[in-house]
Amino acid sequence: MDLNLLRSTLEELGQPRFRFDQVWKWTAEGAQGYHEMSNLPASLRAQLEERVPFSTLTEVTRAEASDGTVKLLLNTKDGRPIETVLMRYKDGRRSICVSSQSGCPLTCTFCATGAMKFGRNLTAWEILDQALHLRRIDELDHCVFMGMGEPMMNLDNVLEVCRRLPDVGITHRRTGISTVGWVPGIDKLTESDVPVRLAWSLHSAEDALRSDIMPVNDRYSLQDVKAACDRFYEKRRKMIFVEYIMLGGVNDSVAQAKQLADLLEPWKYKINLIPYNPTDSVYDGSERGAMEAFRQTLEDEGFNATIRLIRGRDIDAACGQLAAKAAA
């Protein structure tokens, strides 16, 4: 829902200010449409129906995996495809992974989104609507900006959404913005007033290999990004999550785990190893034994390192798989 449009429409209709809060409360709490907003006059509900679309997005398809993961393919008004995912865990967590761009200009070689044509930055309302579509399916408590696109290239809109997420049930402490290392965005987040978490998609601790798999590294080197993450830590004193996708025979040796340990400090960085989900790329996922040896090496060096649970692989909703089908 375009909340600016809602506000100006209510003003034009001469409605008192509290009407905006009423409509937003219903929407943030999972209402399926204006018709459910029982404390609004019926005539106002009808006017809103006509003048303020309940969502800026249209649901095109909905896929549900055997583990309860739900992936939505949504279209913007101008026909840009976006994917968004709800992951449901056995411990009760309900975590969403939202997109900040349609497609992505950064072309990481292992990523299905990177292979898709870049469309544009999403508006704040298009990002927020992904969360709201998922909120109509289930209650939510965690959010990562780790879907399609590089959130730091669209940070103002992402932060606008972060400010609204607590009303949807997701606190700042449970919100994470993930970046491949877009330094100006990291610095802007550090200076912002929104106390969310930072995640760095690192994937290789060697500049040459990192540039091969992530061309953005030619623009912002490991040391540049590390310095920006350190500035974030100095200011916020919040541990930074490092995401490391495990590509078989590429970045998963014990020697490479040691390089990673040399780059980072265990009290500042927590490391998530992500099993690679095969898309149409040239890479294979790492063997289970290689992942465990990598993790153990990091642990021996004093790091908190975990191997992430795979969610939604059977519907192409796992990490690195978004938009494989939408782009086809």
Binding ligand SF4 by CB under 6 A: which of 113, 121, 123, 256? Answer: 113
Q: What angle do CA 175, 300, 236 make, to 5 degrees?
A: 30
**Cα(179)–Cα(242) distance, rounded to whole angstroms?**
10
Closest CB to ligand SF4: residue number = 114
- Is 216 in contact with 207 (CB distance < 8 Å)? no
Q: In angstroms, what CA-CA distances link 58 with 25, 69, 103, 129? A: 21, 20, 17, 10
Distance in Å, CB of 78 to ligand SF4, minimum: 20
Per-residue binding string, ligand SF4, 1-40, x by CB under 6 A, is ----------------------------------------
Q: Strands 101-102 and 120-121: what pairing?
A: antiparallel
Q: Which is nearer to ligand SF4, 169 or 185 (CB)?
A: 185
**Cα(327)–Cα(234) distance, rounded to whole angstroms?**
40
Candidates 97, 108, 162, 319; catalytic one: 319
**Cα(132)–Cα(228) distance, rounded to whole angstroms?**
32
**Cα(283)–Cα(251) distance, rounded to whole angstroms?**
11
Q: Which is nearer to ligand SF4, 48 or 153 (CB)?
A: 153
Q: Is 83 in the site for ligand SF4 (CB under 6 A)?
A: no
Q: Is 111 in the site for ligand SF4 (CB under 6 A)?
A: yes
Q: In angstroms, what CA-CA distances link 292 with 203, 251, 299? A: 16, 14, 10
Binding ligand SF4 by CB under 6 A: which of 37, 85, 104, 225? Answer: 104
Q: Is 108 in the site for ligand SF4 (CB under 6 A)?
A: yes
50 is known as an active-site residue: no
111 is known as an active-site residue: no
Q: Is 100 in the site for ligand SF4 (CB under 6 A)?
A: no
**Burial degree of 43 (CB within 10 A; 0-12, 13-18, 19+):** exposed
Distance in Å, CB of 108 to ligand SF4, minimum: 3
Q: Which is nearer to ligand SF4, 65 or 324 (CB)?
A: 324
Among positions 123-162, residues that touch ligand SF4 (CB under 6 A) are 148-150
The residues near 122 (Cβ < 8 Å, ≥ 6 apart) are: 76, 80, 82, 99, 100, 101, 102, 149, 154, 157
Binding ligand SF4 by CB under 6 A: which of 9, 40, 83, 114? Answer: 114
Q: Which is nearer to ligand SF4, 47 or 102 (CB)?
A: 102
Tokens of 302: 């004093």
Binding ligand SF4 by CB under 6 A: which of 58, 107, 192, 259? Answer: 107
**Cα(225)–Cα(69) distance, rounded to whole angstroms?**
32
Q: Is 180 in the site for ligand SF4 (CB under 6 A)?
A: yes
Distance in Å, CB of 281 to ligand SF4, minimum: 11
Residue 307: strand, helix, or coil: strand
Among positions 192-231, residues that touch ligand SF4 (CB under 6 A) are none
Torsion sign, CA atoms 167, 168, 174, 176: negative
Applying CB under 6 A, the span of 64-72, 85-93, 102-110, 205-213 interacting with ligand SF4 comes to 102-110
Candidates 49, 83, 150, 299; catalytic one: 83
Residues at the site binding ligand SF4, with contacts judged by CB under 6 A: 104, 106-108, 111, 113-114, 148-150, 180
- Residues taking part in catalysis: 83, 319
